[in-house]
A and B are shown apart, each in its own frame.
Chain A
Amino acid sequence: MAKLNGLALKDHIREYHIFTQRLVIAAVITGLLVVTLVARMVYLQLINQDHFATLSENNRVNILPIPPIRGLIYDRNGILLAQNLPSFSLELIPEHIDDFDWTIEELRKLIPLTDEDVARYHKYRRKKRRFEGVTLRYRLTDEEVSRIAVNQYRLPGVEIRAELARQYPLGKLAVHAVGYVSRINEDELRKLDASDYAGTSFIGKVGVEQYYEDILHGTVGYQQVETNAAGRILNVLERTLPVPGKNLYLNLDMQLQSVAKKAFGDNNGALVALDPNNGAVLAFVSVPSFDPNLFANGLDSKTYKQLRDSPDRPLFNRALRGQYPPGSTIKPFIGLAGLELGVVNPAKPLNCPGWYTLKNDPRRYRDWKKQGHGETDLTKAIVQSCDVYFYDLSLNLGIDRMHQFLSNFGLGQRTGIDLNGEAAGLLPSSEWKRRARGTVWYPGETLIAGIGQGFMLATPLQLASITATMGEYGRRFRPQLLYAIQDADEKNHQVLKPQSNTPVPVVRKSDWQTVIEAMQSVISSPRGTAHRLSYNLPFTAAGKTGTAQVFGIKQDEEYDEKEVSKKLRDHALFIVFAPVEAPRIAIAVIVENGGHGGSVAGPIARKVLDAYLLKATPP
């Protein structure tokens, strides 16, 4: 700026002219805008003053939300899992209540009201406008409704509201998959779209109800209503109908689910059945379970505490979040790793004396069979679940190659099922141990990992998923509960496509066949650990038993199932898919504290297999 010559000076004057010209134009536009504003004010305040004064005088034109109807949930055969039934709740309209305490006192003479109800009322009251009803009690009985109705004339501001409430006709049966709705809490209220949930007091909390909340909820409608001085609606001026939520069809087969649940008897545990061809979740059982209607109705804190603190943990979703050592069920997969990586020659046997030692380590790693299996090749090692063979194999593989290979199956990662809160399990590696535990990986830990014990953890869902993958020679699908979405008018529906994952890169088909044939012999061979399943078996099946230690047994210590208290007994596991030629179902079962896999978990799986494969008409 400082270096202005003659020419620039001329420019400067020109600049100044441009600027003043622009400033004048801006000032003129400003003036026009001011005139517009003033004109608007004249229109509002002078011309229409009477109109608005009346409106403000009787500011009783209210806008009321109309909540959408929540979508229904069905199983794959159209059996109803979640529906909406009419229910009555008691509302107070703050604008019309002069003496709150008096009203409450009068109401208490008619129906039971807890302090919790009153406290909740005050909490929600703050979030609403004065003329909006605030719920004081949900789910009035018919008797309570009539008692209030009779007295309503002397209780201004007290309203009975009919609404639709969620109900689960099958109760406990599929609660860990379907989930439940419950009252919207303060946290959720903050995150939700306030308009969209203006008339809704329930929201999906867990399971499918939560995962597909957006689809099930629908879109809120509203009506503009004129009310009289007492707040009663005189006239509906305008109405926009809500868009109901869409219906969901799940892949679950309730018949299968019920067979599976019954098969557990009094045992705790979980079962997941998948369709290996597309990842459809056919059965999803976690026992014990609980009645979702309790939550939908609003349960008191005592019942909730009971459920929460029960030693059997009914609220815990074992199928989705239970992380168990996979035990011997991992052996076929380790065997496949050995074949694929050329670490093992399937024809070359190894002598099993009943124990295994590492160099420079006096510790004996025992086989479950004390006297040993003798000469053992890969097939025999899988069929009879020889530990020593897999100690040797896993030592040759090394933990990191094992980690790498099993990752391909999806172990140690969430399967991505359409439910929130899934546990990822744990697939250890030396890098993981350095990071998580801050120590180096010991060779002994590799041996333990080779038989699915130690750090390794998997969920029943993951086990079912890797079993399906085995049956399909490495083809992988994301487990999917949702089968189809149906419009509320029940006309159109949209079937979901299977979601495939990266297949397991095993080059030779023969490697798969070797392992699958061995798994088939687990059931068909008289020496197989699950031979009892072969009785009257009308189809082919390939499986593997497993036992997960609940607590460590010291070296050279005997383990007597009868003497150990039930809580400390081993978990029984079983994985299976059938028919072998073209698998239609893959199952993983875990029975907590069930002892040995073949004798407890196997029969449960067999019942589910029969129920599914022998059904007269496939869906």
Chain B
Amino acid sequence: MSLSSQPEFADATRISAGRRILQRLHIDLPLLVGLLLLAAAGLFILYSAGDENLDLVIRQGLRLALAFAVMFVIAQLSPSTIQFWSPWLFGIGLLMLVAVLIGGEIGKGAQRWLDLGVLRFQPSEIMKLAVPMMLAWYLAEAPLPPNRVRIFIAAVILLIPTLLIAKQPDLGTALLIASASIFVLWLAGLGFRLIATVFTLFAAVTPVVWIYLLHDYQRRRVLTFLNPDIDPLGAGYHIRQSKIAIGSGGMYGKGWLNGTQSHLDFLPERSTDFIFAVFSEEFGFLGLLILLGLYLFVVWRGLYISAQAQDTFCRLLAGSITLTFFVYIFVNMGMVSGLLPVVGVPLPLLSYGGTSIVTLLAGFGILMSIQTHRKLIST
């Protein structure tokens, strides 16, 4: 790479001994500390949310251990390796998505899992990383900001997997992948005028779709989605109960294991998507500030890493991964506190279960790789 000529990265000699070891292990200490603290908080609150079921906590602990291991392995790869494999990963992911769709067609009903005998996983999980990787790879090929042709092709790269996943149907994941991709485009310098045009177009098309293309029941579903109060026995009940949980937590919370909303069975999905309500009920506003602080620390570190990154691919990818991480947090907290409609988005590192934790930490593995391989190339 010929980027070494830049003066601002030529400070490799000032690294202390301890940092050198971490450097060699390709670990970014601030990021690791932030993530570990969050994971620990997650296990703690899960014990309470899961009715003091230790098995549940152990299972989640093992899952976290696996996810951190994946993170370390990925951090060992150099960014150029990751860059090289990006289109391949994207291609494989796309093939698997199609396979799932065909398999699902045969098996009737929604199917998101691909069964490889030993291993069962959702290809849409891979795509959460593969799509932004592919876009970063593609856009980094030519000078930025991208010209119209490149933007068009990028839109196609974005839309194909998103639509395939939306068809599964897994709208939540599709939206997350779309937003991760849009972040890449945004960071690459997508023109403001184009952004405004797309927005206007959306605003113009929506009423037409609403009036002419949607069935009555589809409209009802969208309305329930936007305003859960319409369905007080389903989504409306969730939001009402989780608002009571959060609100009754007050400044200091009811204390660990003392949340009545969760322990008296009022709060549904409390160990998965709605775990934030349990946290807020038991630890109150102060607890929330600490938790939010931890999350923001991780986000800040991610943004710092992307600003420090040495080439376009790394910058775009690191920025997109970090911003998507924030989107998770915002959407989940917004949904549980009744600011946003109910979409099935977990709170990263706190919500129970899911292969999504592995994907999430794999993303942080990429961040660590970008950060820790930096000095090596610049010497």
0 or 1 for each of A1-28: is its CB under 8 Å from B? (1 = yes): 1101000110110111011101100110
B248 proximity list for chain A (CB < 8 A): 49, 52-53, 55-57
A499 smallest CB distance to B (angstroms) = 22
Given contacts A15-B144, A26-B323, A63-B233, contact A52 B186 (CB under 8 A): no
Asked if A129 and B244 sit within 8 Å, CB to CB, the answer is no
User: How far is it, in angstroms, between the C-alpha of A353 and the C-alpha of B3 when the chains are bound?
Assistant: 104
B255: interface (CB < 8 Å): no
Given contacts A195-B231, A198-B233, A222-B233, contact A59 B244 (CB under 8 A): yes
A8 proximity list for chain B (CB < 8 A): 143
User: How far is it, in angstroms, between the C-alpha of A16 and the C-alpha of B310 when the chains are bound?
Assistant: 9
0 or 1 for each of B186-209: is its CB under 8 Å from A? (1 = yes): 111100000000000000000000
Asked if A48 and B296 sit within 8 Å, CB to CB, the answer is no
Asked if A30 and B250 sit within 8 Å, CB to CB, the answer is no
Interface of A, secondary structure class, is: helix
A49 smallest CB distance to B (angstroms) = 4
Closest-by-CB residue of A relative to B245 is A56
Given contacts A18-B145, A19-B315, A130-B265, contact A45 B285 (CB under 8 A): yes
Asked if A224 and B333 sit within 8 Å, CB to CB, the answer is no
Interface residues of B in 178-235 (CB under 8 A from A): 183, 186-189, 231-234
A436: interface (CB < 8 Å): no
- Neighbour of A52 across the interface among B187, B244, B296, B299, CB < 8 A: B244
- Neighbour of B187 across the interface among A1, A23, A45, CB < 8 A: A23
Interface residues of B in 273-292 (CB under 8 A from A): 280, 284-285, 288-289, 292
A40: interface (CB < 8 Å): yes
A110: interface (CB < 8 Å): no
Closest-by-CB residue of A relative to B268 is A129
A56 proximity list for chain B (CB < 8 A): 244-245, 247-248, 260-261
A52 proximity list for chain B (CB < 8 A): 243-244, 246-248
Given contacts A59-B264, A63-B233, contact A41 B299 (CB under 8 A): no
- Neighbour of B234 across the interface among A12, A33, A194, CB < 8 A: A194
Closest-by-CB residue of B relative to A55 is B244
Asked if A224 and B232 sit within 8 Å, CB to CB, the answer is yes
B188 proximity list for chain A (CB < 8 A): 18-19
- Neighbour of B288 across the interface among A23, A41, A55, A195, CB < 8 A: A41
Asked if B187 and A22 sit within 8 Å, CB to CB, the answer is yes
Asked if B247 and A44 sit within 8 Å, CB to CB, the answer is yes
B62: interface (CB < 8 Å): no
User: How far is it, in angstroms, between the C-alpha of A26 and the C-alpha of B299 when the chains are bound?
Assistant: 11
A42: interface (CB < 8 Å): yes
B250 smallest CB distance to A (angstroms) = 4
B54: interface (CB < 8 Å): no
Interface residues of A in 30-72 (CB under 8 A from B): 30, 33-34, 36-38, 40-42, 44-46, 48-49, 51-53, 55-57, 59, 63, 65
B186 proximity list for chain A (CB < 8 A): 22, 26
B160: interface (CB < 8 Å): no
B334: interface (CB < 8 Å): yes
Given contacts A23-B307, A26-B319, contact A36 B251 (CB under 8 A): no
A273 proximity list for chain B (CB < 8 A): none
User: How far is it, in angstroms, between the C-alpha of A220 and the C-alpha of B232 when the chains are bound?
Assistant: 11
Asked if B299 and A18 sit within 8 Å, CB to CB, the answer is no
Closest-by-CB residue of B relative to A129 is B265
- Neighbour of B306 across the interface among A2, A23, A55, CB < 8 A: A23
Asked if B247 and A22 sit within 8 Å, CB to CB, the answer is no
B136 smallest CB distance to A (angstroms) = 12
Interface residues of B in 292-349 (CB under 8 A from A): 292, 296, 299, 303, 306-307, 311-313, 315-316, 319, 323, 326, 330, 333-334, 337-339
Central interface residue in A8, A27, A220, by most chain B CB within 10 Å: A27
Asked if B303 and A44 sit within 8 Å, CB to CB, the answer is no
Chain B residue total in the interface (Cβ 8 A):
58
Closest-by-CB residue of A relative to B281 is A56
B123: interface (CB < 8 Å): no
Asked if B247 and A48 sit within 8 Å, CB to CB, the answer is yes
Asked if A45 and B333 sit within 8 Å, CB to CB, the answer is no
User: How far is it, in angstroms, between the C-alpha of A4 and the C-alpha of B186 when the chains are bound?
Assistant: 23
B140: interface (CB < 8 Å): yes
B249: interface (CB < 8 Å): yes
Asked if B292 and A34 sit within 8 Å, CB to CB, the answer is yes
A41 proximity list for chain B (CB < 8 A): 246, 280, 285, 288, 337
Given contacts A4-B2, A15-B143, A45-B246, contact A36 B339 (CB under 8 A): yes
B40 smallest CB distance to A (angstroms) = 22
B106: interface (CB < 8 Å): no
A65 proximity list for chain B (CB < 8 A): 233
- Neighbour of A46 across the interface among B144, B251, B306, B316, CB < 8 A: B251
Asked if B292 and A38 sit within 8 Å, CB to CB, the answer is yes
A1 proximity list for chain B (CB < 8 A): 1, 140-141, 311-313
B44 proximity list for chain A (CB < 8 A): none
B265 proximity list for chain A (CB < 8 A): 129-130
B339 proximity list for chain A (CB < 8 A): 36-37, 40
Closest-by-CB residue of B relative to A39 is B339
B323 proximity list for chain A (CB < 8 A): 26, 30
A53 proximity list for chain B (CB < 8 A): 247-248, 250
B85: interface (CB < 8 Å): no
User: How far is it, in angstroms, between the C-alpha of A44 and the C-alpha of B244 when the chains are bound?
Assistant: 9
B266: interface (CB < 8 Å): yes
User: How far is it, in angstroms, between the C-alpha of A59 and the C-alpha of B261 when the chains are bound?
Assistant: 9
B256: interface (CB < 8 Å): no
- Neighbour of B280 across the interface among A34, A45, A55, A63, CB < 8 A: A45
Closest-by-CB residue of A relative to B234 is A195
B47: interface (CB < 8 Å): no
User: How far is it, in angstroms, between the C-alpha of A217 and the C-alpha of B172 when the chains are bound?
Assistant: 31
A48 proximity list for chain B (CB < 8 A): 247
- Neighbour of A20 across the interface among B5, B264, B307, CB < 8 A: B307
B138: interface (CB < 8 Å): no
B3 proximity list for chain A (CB < 8 A): 12
A18 proximity list for chain B (CB < 8 A): 144-145, 188-189
Closest-by-CB residue of B relative to A37 is B333
A59 proximity list for chain B (CB < 8 A): 244, 260-261, 264, 266
A51 proximity list for chain B (CB < 8 A): 247
B312 proximity list for chain A (CB < 8 A): 1, 12, 15, 19
B204 smallest CB distance to A (angstroms) = 24
User: How far is it, in angstroms, between the C-alpha of A326 and the C-alpha of B366 when the chains are bound?
Assistant: 72
- Neighbour of A45 across the interface among B183, B249, B266, CB < 8 A: B249
B187 proximity list for chain A (CB < 8 A): 19, 22-23, 26
Closest-by-CB residue of B relative to A9 is B5
Closest-by-CB residue of B relative to A47 is B247
Closest 7 CB pairs of A and B: A52-B247, A56-B248, A18-B189, A49-B250, A195-B233, A44-B247, A52-B248
Interface residues of chain B, those whose CB is within 8 Å of chain A, are 1-3, 5, 140-141, 143-145, 183, 186-189, 231-234, 237, 243-251, 260-261, 264-266, 280, 284-285, 288-289, 292, 296, 299, 303, 306-307, 311-313, 315-316, 319, 323, 326, 330, 333-334, 337-339
Known: A41-B285, A41-B288. 7 other contacts (CB 8 A): A1-B1, A1-B140, A1-B141, A37-B333, A45-B280, A59-B244, A63-B233
Sampled A-B contacts (25; CB under 8 Å): A1-B141, A1-B311, A18-B145, A18-B189, A19-B144, A19-B315, A23-B303, A23-B307, A30-B326, A33-B330, A34-B292, A37-B333, A41-B337, A44-B337, A45-B246, A45-B247, A45-B249, A45-B280, A51-B247, A52-B247, A52-B248, A53-B247, A56-B247, A130-B264, A222-B232
